[in-house]
Amino acid sequence: MAQHNCTEAKENYGGKFSCPLLIAAYVFAGLAMMLNIRLSYSSAPYALIRFRLPENLFSVFVRRMASALELWCLPSMLLGNIMDLGVKGAIGSANEDNKKWWKFYCIIWSSIICQWLNFITYVILLIVYVIGGDQGRLTTFYWTIAISGVVFGINMTLVYSVDFYYIPVYIAGENSFPIVTSFMHYLSTLMFGNRRKWNSDYLIVMIDIGVAIIISFAAAVIWTVGYLCEVDDSTEVKDMKHIHANGFDGKFSEHLISPFLMVIVGMGLVYAIYPGIAPGMIVPFYLIDKIEMVLLIATFFPPVIIAILRKHASDYSPTHFDRGKAQPWSTYTAGVFYLSLNILMVIKILLAAIFICSLHYRDSSISRSIVNQPKMSTALSITFYMCHEILLAVGFSGVIGNDGGDFILIPQYIGALFMIFLAFYSEGYINEYKNHDPEHWSID
């Protein structure tokens, strides 16, 4: 058997006995997962110029690229959920020797393929971006982004399915990627931002795609090594220690309601408000970039703190195991604190209602105290988004900690449905609002 230092996957719980190689694999999987979204949003102003589109089409261009990603990831996420349900059902009825076989060949191999497909889509995207002369190939670029959405949806679902114990580590990696990629973006603009000397818009997007290729390649390599390092002629699948062959071992209980709702509210409501309504329509324009910079740093901390607690101080983590058994939040002191964070769901929903009411009733005292008031509007916008980040970091870990890891894909998919469809609703709402707002009427 290939040599490794970790215990059985079902016994390490992603804690102090977890495998360093798998920790690295999940961190890089998180870093690589959202790169296409980053390219759709942050690189959009430069891509717009590369394809010779007028600047007044910027919002349409960004929204269409993001919509392609969001819509096409839903069917592939559904496919991933179906695969997960089917394999868990097969594992539940299989004998002990065949459980790991089902997980290895149906889920782990599929996840390895998806990691490499993620890398390949960025290589194709770079080729598509470069070819086409001065005008480029905008339609091909659009469809490549859409295909990357398909890969993104099933890839993310399979990462969750492979071993839910490492999800806190994955989320920490996922929330680290904005800082990493933004730093790279900053360096590229610093070096090639002089439009008189360089074709800046063309080069900056090309560098962003190049960074995505490097990160996704590293993620694919580490993920592949992490799950194939035990494969050799003398090792049977049933003896591999990195495979967490879980069926529906846990039972749905009242303890899961709180973390389930945290995930659904945390995911579902965020893009209905952010960034189009708050900060987009209530914060003075000159402050929007500053809010983005604050959030870029602040969002790094919740999942990283959770991952550190999970690894080094399980008693204070939302995923706490005692003698191999998951401990519900209501049974230990730190867990009671995490239950108290349910208040963040109430705060987030109330803030969403306040933002919308302040736009509808512009003469009200609440509107006058928020809209275009720098301190209040900035503080509330940051609070809203940080509720989203904390709810997801605590919620996903809490699903595992309350013995619901087998069901973790359910709130994720429900949250994704709400997130994507409410984002479209928000876009339509903003357009209609502007059509009826005298401040946005054209003056001939």
What does the DSSP assignment read for 368-397?
HHHTT-HHHHHHHHHHHHHHHHHHHHHHHH
Question: 140: part of which helix (H) or strand (E)?
Answer: helix 138-162
pLDDT at 50: 82
**Res. 3 pLDDT band, cuts 50 70 90:** very low
Compute the residue count for the chain.
444
Considering the domain architecture, whether residues 243 and 297 belong to the same structural domain is answered as no
**Res. 305 pLDDT band, cuts 50 70 90:** very high
Contact partners, residue 203, CB within 8 Å, separation at least 6: 188, 192
pLDDT at 28: 96
Residue linked to tokens 């703190």? 305
Using CA atoms, how far apart are residues 324 and 7, in angstroms rounded to an integer? Answer: 13
Pick 37 or 169 by higher pLDDT.
169
Q: What does the angle CA 283 – CA 286 – CA 289 come to, to the nearest 5 degrees?
A: 90
Considering the domain architecture, whether residues 215 and 265 belong to the same structural domain is answered as no
pLDDT at 171: 94
Considering the domain architecture, whether residues 243 and 253 belong to the same structural domain is answered as no
Domain membership of residue 4 (yes or no) is: no
pLDDT digits (tens, 9 = 90+) for 231-265: 876 778 888 888 888 877 667 889 999 999 999 99
Query: Interhelix angle for 374-401 vs 301-312, to 10°?
Result: 30
Contact 271, 422 (CB under 8 A): yes
Contact 388, 175 (CB under 8 A): no
Ranges 47-61, 338-352, 363-377, 422-436: which has the least confidence: 47-61
| Domain stop point among 247, 282, 307 | 247
Average pLDDT of span 319-347: 93
Domain membership of residue 421 (yes or no) is: yes
- What CATH number should be reported for the domain holding residue 161? 1.20.1250.20
Average pLDDT of span 150-165: 95
Residue 150 Cα distances to 9, 73, 161, 167, angstroms: 29, 5, 17, 21
Residue linked to tokens 């804690």? 15
pLDDT at 288: 81
State what percent of residues in the chain have pLDDT above 90: 51
Pick 399 or 179 by higher pLDDT.
399
Q: Is the pLDDT of residue 408 over 80?
A: yes
Mean pLDDT of all residues belonging to the chain: 87
Considering the domain architecture, whether residues 212 and 253 belong to the same structural domain is answered as no
Split into its structural domains, the chain has a count of 2
Domain membership of residue 399 (yes or no) is: yes
pLDDT at 82: 96
Contact partners, residue 111, CB within 8 Å, separation at least 6: 155, 158, 159, 161, 162, 223, 227
Considering the domain architecture, whether residues 288 and 225 belong to the same structural domain is answered as no
Query: Interhelix angle for 109-130 vs 200-228, to 10°?
Result: 160
Contact 35, 216 (CB under 8 A): yes
User: Of 27, 92, 10, which is closest to residue 321 (Cα–Cα)?
Assistant: 10
Please, what's the largest Cα pairwise distance for the chain?
80
Considering the domain architecture, whether residues 315 and 225 belong to the same structural domain is answered as no
Q: Is the pLDDT of residue 347 over 80?
A: yes
**Res. 58 pLDDT band, cuts 50 70 90:** low
**How would you class 196 by CB atoms within 10 Å of its CB: exposed for 0-12, middle for 13-18, buried for 19 or more?**
exposed
Q: Is the pLDDT of residue 1 over 50?
A: no
| Domain stop point among 247, 276, 310 | 247
User: Of 158, 412, 425, which is closest to residue 264 (Cα–Cα)?
Assistant: 412
pLDDT at 250: 65
Domain membership of residue 104 (yes or no) is: yes
Domain membership of residue 335 (yes or no) is: yes
| pTM of the predicted model as reported, rounded to 2 decimal places | 0.88
Considering the domain architecture, whether residues 232 and 261 belong to the same structural domain is answered as no
**Res. 141 pLDDT band, cuts 50 70 90:** confident
**How would you class 185 by CB atoms within 10 Å of its CB: exposed for 0-12, middle for 13-18, buried for 19 or more?**
buried
Residue linked to tokens 């769901």? 345
pLDDT at 418: 95
Domain membership of residue 51 (yes or no) is: yes
Q: Is the pLDDT of residue 433 over 50?
A: yes
Residue 444 Cα distances to 431, 437, 441, angstroms: 20, 16, 10
**Res. 16 pLDDT band, cuts 50 70 90:** low
Structure tokens belonging to residue 355? 């933002």
Structure tokens belonging to residue 192? 């090639």
Q: Is the pLDDT of residue 6 over 80?
A: no
Q: Is the pLDDT of residue 95 over 90?
A: no
State what percent of residues in the chain have pLDDT above 70: 91
Q: Is the pLDDT of residue 424 over 50?
A: yes
Considering the domain architecture, whether residues 139 and 79 belong to the same structural domain is answered as yes
pLDDT at 2: 46
**Res. 414 pLDDT band, cuts 50 70 90:** very high
Using CA atoms, how far apart are residues 349 and 182, in angstroms rounded to an integer? Answer: 30
pLDDT digits (tens, 9 = 90+) for 262-302: 999 999 999 889 888 888 889 988 888 788 888 888 999 99
Q: Is the pLDDT of residue 426 over 50?
A: yes
Pick 189 or 357 by higher pLDDT.
357
Structure tokens belonging to residue 405? 């890891």
List of long-range contacts for 220-225, beta carbons under 8 Å, 24+ apart: 220/32, 220/112, 220/115, 220/116, 220/118, 220/119, 222/21, 222/24, 222/25, 222/28, 223/25, 223/28, 223/29, 223/111, 223/112, 223/115, 224/112, 224/115, 224/116, 225/21, 225/25
pLDDT digits (tens, 9 = 90+) for 197-220: 888 878 888 888 999 999 999 999
325-326 and 321-322 strand pairing: antiparallel
Contact partners, residue 192, CB within 8 Å, separation at least 6: 198, 200, 203, 204, 207
**Res. 438 pLDDT band, cuts 50 70 90:** low
Ranges 35-49, 206-220, 337-351: which has the least confidence: 35-49
Q: Which domain holds residue 239?
A: 15-247
pLDDT digits (tens, 9 = 90+) for 360-407: 888 899 999 999 899 999 999 999 999 999 999 999 999 999 989 889
Contact partners, residue 287, CB within 8 Å, separation at least 6: 279, 374, 377, 378
Domain membership of residue 10 (yes or no) is: no
Using CA atoms, how far apart are residues 415 and 270, in angstroms rounded to an integer? Answer: 10
Considering the domain architecture, whether residues 230 and 267 belong to the same structural domain is answered as no
